Amino acid sequence: MAELFEIRDVDRRTYEGELREFLPDRLVDVHTHVWKAEHQRIGPDAFARVVSWPSRVARDNSVEDLVEGYRLMFPGKSVTPLMFASVYDADSMPAMNRYVRECAARMKFPALIYAHPTWTGDALEKGIKGGRFLGAKVYLNLSPAYIPEKEIRIFDFLPPHQLDVLNRHGWVVMLHIPRDGRLRDPVNLAQMLEIETNWPKVRVIIAHMGRAYCDEDMGDAFTVLSATRNMVFDFSANTNDHVFEKALRTFGPERCLFGSDMPITRMRMRRHCEGGRYVNVVPRGLYGDVSGDSHMGEADPPESDTITFFMYEEILAIKRAMERIGLGRADVEAFFLGNAKRVLRI
């Protein structure tokens, strides 16, 4: 049987030379997607509100593929994922949530239901309880179709009546914030603070460090959010060590979590920023024709031979940030394991 993806010399050198000793033996990955291709509908407007490049990495990601991916990338380690689906339209949701629920029960992995903003509070509560989920994953692309992508607000896809339910039970919500301004956007910041104040028992995980992929995405967000006490932040699919350092200093390492966004971080790529826009540089031709995507670039040998996994690039950035701050072994263990166990109550 062919391997799920190739492990190259550059990957072995990176893992053995930089990551194996840095990482604890056990990790919890709080941000992973599992789905089967036959359950997912991708219509002509699927990418109208979201970037399309992640879809180039994997047609689907079964729970078996997720586990195999960890085995290949983290030899000698044990990784527990927090799982949820990858949804582009409402019609896909029943089958995709059912698959996640079945995988969670079979593998004994924690999971979140993928929630639609039109669900009543009772429907959300019933879905979470019935599937034994820890809470919900919400996403901006499920906001009402009449709202322009640049004007979507958090409450358009995480409505207050659903927050009431999540707050009553102290459940988790995985929140990917919208808008071009990303973490620095004043509307995002205002609504994040409103959630913190009005629904304090919700265990809010801000995905991707608030999508602050470039330094310009930070603005004054860390000053505005410095008074928060409840929300936590995952570092998934982000390689900006400056953002990581700022987050660790502002919120403390106990409110920061390891997440990967698997299977996207199986991508072989290196990220940099150009004028406040992130660019993923990949080996030429490996992911098809990317010339029309402003977030993608390509490299030829010998540079392309030095490109390793997105996953490794993320963890290397985390390592650089932690080393600059002077965090110790206990903080590393907490970031990759203990914090998630506390937040998820597993």
pLDDT 10s digits, 138-182: 999 999 999 999 999 999 999 999 999 999 999 999 999 999 999
Q: Using the predicted structure, report yes or no on whether residue 52 has a pLDDT greater than 90.
A: no
Rounded Cα gap, residues 73 and 70, in angstroms: 5
Note the pLDDT tens digit of each residue in 76-101.
Answer: 999 999 999 998 888 899 999 999 99
pLDDT given for residue 48 in this prediction: 57
Q: Residue 286 — very low, low, confident or very high, per pLDDT cuts 50/70/90?
A: very high
Query: For a pLDDT cut of 70, what percent of the chain falls above it?
Result: 97
Which of 234, 110, 119, 196 shows the shortest CA–CA distance to 165?
119
Rounded to two decimals, the pTM is 0.96
Domain limits of the chain?
A: 9-36+51-267+310-344, 269-307
115-141 mean pLDDT: 97
pLDDT given for residue 45 in this prediction: 64
Domain 9-36+51-267+310-344: give its CATH code.
Answer: 3.20.20.140
Sheet holding 172-175, edge to edge: 113-114, 135-138, 172-175, 203-206, 232-234, 256-257
Find how far residue 138's CA is from the centre of its chain: 12
Q: What share of the chain is helix, strand, coil (3-state, %, to 5)?
A: 45, 15, 40
130-145 mean pLDDT: 96
220-241 mean pLDDT: 97
The two structure tokens encoding residue 135: 């809470």
pLDDT given for residue 163 in this prediction: 98
**Residue 209, phi-psi category: left (phi > 0), alpha (psi -120 to 50), beta (remainder):** left
